[in-house]
Amino acid sequence: MQKRKLGNGGLEVSAIGLGCMGLSYGYGPATAAPEAIGLIRAAFESGVTFFDTAEAYGPYKNEELVGEAVAPFRDKVVIATKFGFEFDANGGQSGMNSRPEHIRKVADAALKRLKTDRIDLFYQHRVDPDVPIEEVAGAVKGLIGEGKVKHFGLSEAGAQTIRRAHAVQPVAAVQSEYSLWWREPEAEILPALEELGIGFVPFSPLGKGFLTGAIDENTKFDSSDFRNVVPRFTPEARKANQALVDLIGRIAATKKATPAQIALAWLLAQKPWIVPIPGTTKLHRLKENIGAANVGLTPGDISQIEAALSGISVQGDRYPPHLQSRVDR
């Protein structure tokens, strides 16, 4: 697989990474460990060198899973994990915490769970309104100085926050949602990243599965599936948004590709420093997603997609109100 660089600090990764969250958390029951480990190793064998996890996924279980899975080839891959939350005794999130002393504790614990001596990319999972971003960046800078962390990242951060953090410790990558049905980063985030020389890592690049065409208004989600509380996934919104999936399907047919591959190829075509991290629990979907790196979209294809998209209005917010408040502006 082709490689791409995130930021100006020499962080090189496969053009498509693997978001590992769904193997443990968020989209229904956790995948059995042997299957999950097999899927991560199959991704590596297919050219994926970028694996995304977080202490919050589980919590903790996903980091342990990733650590075990990549142990045989640890030095050949890039592991990204995250800090920024507190958890109660039952594993629920009990608030944000990006105080410097907490960041250090999270880093040390993550190193043990990941079975490694360094975190390649350490993101602040969400911007903490109670801790100046300069203090956060300074704490990660200290960890980089000690060799425990290689690169600093931010997730769902606004442009001004990114600039302030970058002035203290260069930011290698910003991770936020970005896809054919959520394009808000194009307004302020992408221009700022291009100016500063920072990479961009879109999560939910397949619209939490919707852009694959495998979900419609009648789809039933497991009771533990996060999408049950997402306004964009109400049956009414799914019915209204089917027009977008139909459009992608028509384009895919002309390119002899799948809708998922078109959605990922569109992201790859936006900028050479964009690296999407689709997640999956299924081996055939993994291979399909990786195949998107070989789907070339011409400027004419992109123009056709843009023209068609201009006539479609996506319905429904991407987060329920209590989570939307955590997105930095």
Helices (H) and strands (E) in the chain, counts: 11, 11
246 to 257, 259, 295, 313: CA distances (angstroms): 14, 9, 19, 13
Tell me the C-alpha distance between 236 and 216, whole Å: 10
Candidates 107, 31, 123, 121; CA nearest to 69 is: 31
57 is catalytic: yes
Q: Which of 25, 57, 123, 178 is catalytic?
A: 57
Torsion angle of C-alpha atoms 224, 229, 232, 235, degrees rounded to 10: 80
DSSP 109-172: HHHHHTTSS-EEEEEESS--TTS-HHHHHHHHHHHHHHTSEEEEEEES--HHHHHHHHHHS-EE
> Active-site positions?
57
